[in-house]
Amino acid sequence: MKLWTGRFSKEADKITNDFNSSIGTDKRMYREDIQGSIAHATMLGIQGIISQDDAEKIINGLKEILADIDSGRLEIDMSAEDIHTFTEGELTKRIGDAGKRLHTARSRNDQVALDVRLHLIKENEAVDELLCSIISVLADMGEKYAETVMPGYTHLQRAQPVTFGHYMLAYAEMFLRDRERLADCKKRTARSPLGCCALAGTTYNTDRNKTAELLGFEGVCHNSLDGVSDRDFVIELSSCLSTIAVHLSRFSEEIILWCSHEFRFIELDDAFSTGSSIMPQKKNPDIAELVRGKAGRVFGDNMTILTVMKGIPLAYNKDMQEDKDCIFDAIDTVKACLTAFIPMLETMTVKSDNMRKAAAGGFINATDCADYLVSKGMPFRDAYKITGGIVAFCIEKNTTLEELPLDEYKKFSPEFDEGIYSAVDLDRCTVNRTSLGGPAFENVKAQAKRVKALIG
């Protein structure tokens, strides 16, 4: 049954029906559709736009439909045009004429905008919960590996010492910002478009603040044209999800590198890796690779909604029906990525010895050698140059700053004395980096504590 057959003399062609239909996608919002309709009917009753008796019949009917869909007693009819048509049709089937009064002072344009907002708020919270889980795992790791020295990199070249705990907490910071972005996006999503109607409001004495309040919104969309046309909240969530996907993808890339034979910094648990059908020695980081790959899909979803919206005039246009497939896909993808990534992270083995060996071999204490000369009164630029010469000499002699004899040091500068060995000691190099946010062990433990406090 169509909601709009009045002015038509012919049935729509099957091709038109199939092409037009969105039930396959919007059936996912049945709960929100019913929730919105209950609020609308309640308001219509309070305002005397429909009788209290009809309002009650509608509300009870809708509650029963919801319970029946939830329990599986009622199946959503996939031949309906959309979820709004289905619920209204089912309601009228059950309660008769009163059901036909539900759509007074409402259009599917404000209805769908409302359903999407309600649904995205719920999904926003579900993603946030997963972010809390990953942050909590990272905070635990931050604490556990606060003293596990490893090389930090720039240009993927060993640069300066950090700790594995410090590294994990860097990702915790990214996910904390993702949470802030989601919370901010949620504020703007929680505005009610209900009552904007088709585009130009209504002549009925509706109470939009009442429906907004009943639905738990922070307020209403203040312009009826904007209320039905705005999909910024979809764009915003999609862009928040893209940023989460960037973070997960970078993290995945590190994990893929770290479990390679070249690094051997970590080993993934057998339960969270896969084998090769031909190469018996292989243990592949498939989850991390898929997460890295799926980021592309989430960005694609973001590009879809931007492109759908960029050229359409106010107010509602059918193009906007395309908003749902992409945002639902982005949500499901990011949720699936986080769900697989978290246990993979939790169960991986950290190979502290290999990290330490890598830290010892890459002259990551060269800055500390230069800083040692600076502490003797030498300008940094000169100290930098002398240290560069020492590093080149060590490379030629196949030795390290820790092992170079003092008389060799002295050939580069008379300022060197026994103190150089504690200055270039790896632990000390790390422990001394006490600047705010740096990798000194105590600093890292404090960072972990701060993160834990933030997620409660």
Catalytic residues: 155, 276
List Cβ neighbours of 252 (8 Å cut-off, separation of 6 or more): 285, 288, 289, 291, 292, 341
CA 301 to chain centroid = 13
CA distances from 130 to 245, 334, 335, 429 (A): 13, 10, 7, 36
Residue nearest to ligand ARG (CB): 321
Question: Is position 108 an interface residue for ligand ARG (rule: CB under 6 A)?
Answer: yes
Nearer of residues 118 and 182 to ligand ARG, judged by Cβ: 118
Interface with ligand ARG, residue 112, by CB under 6 A: yes
Q: Beta-strand (E) ranges in 130-181?
A: 149-154, 157-163
SS3 221: coil
Partners of 349 in beta bridges: 267
Asked whether 95 and 57 are in contact (CB, 8 A), the reply is yes
* Measured distance CA(33)–CA(29) in Å, rounded: 6
d(CA 296, CA 274): 22
Q: Which stretch binds ligand ARG (CB under 6 A): 200-208, 275-283, 307-315, 316-324?
A: 316-324
Among 32, 33, 54, 82, binds ligand ARG (CB under 6 A): 82
The span of 96-104, 117-125, 317-325, 378-386 binding ligand ARG (CB under 6 A) equals 317-325
Whichever of 107 and 302 has its CB closer to ligand ARG, that residue is: 107
110 binds ligand ARG (CB under 6 A): no
Pairing verdict, β 219-220 and 191-192: parallel
Does 233 help bind ligand ARG (rule: CB under 6 A)?
A: no
By CB under 6 A, residue 22 contacts ligand ARG = yes
Least Å distance between CB 117 and ligand ARG? 13
As a whole number of angstroms, the distance between CA 434 and CA 443 comes to 7
CB of 47 to ligand ARG, least distance (A): 24
104: contact with ligand ARG by CB under 6 A: no
Phi, psi of 436 (to 5 degrees): -55, 125
CB of 83 to ligand ARG, least distance (A): 8
Consecutive H or E run containing 267: strand 266-267
Contacting residue, 321, 354, 400, 432, with ligand ARG by CB under 6 A: 321
CB of 322 to ligand ARG, least distance (A): 8
Give the nearer residue to ligand ARG in terms of CB position, either 85 or 92. 85
Residues near ligand ARG (CB under 6 A) are 22, 26, 82, 108-109, 112, 316, 318, 320-321
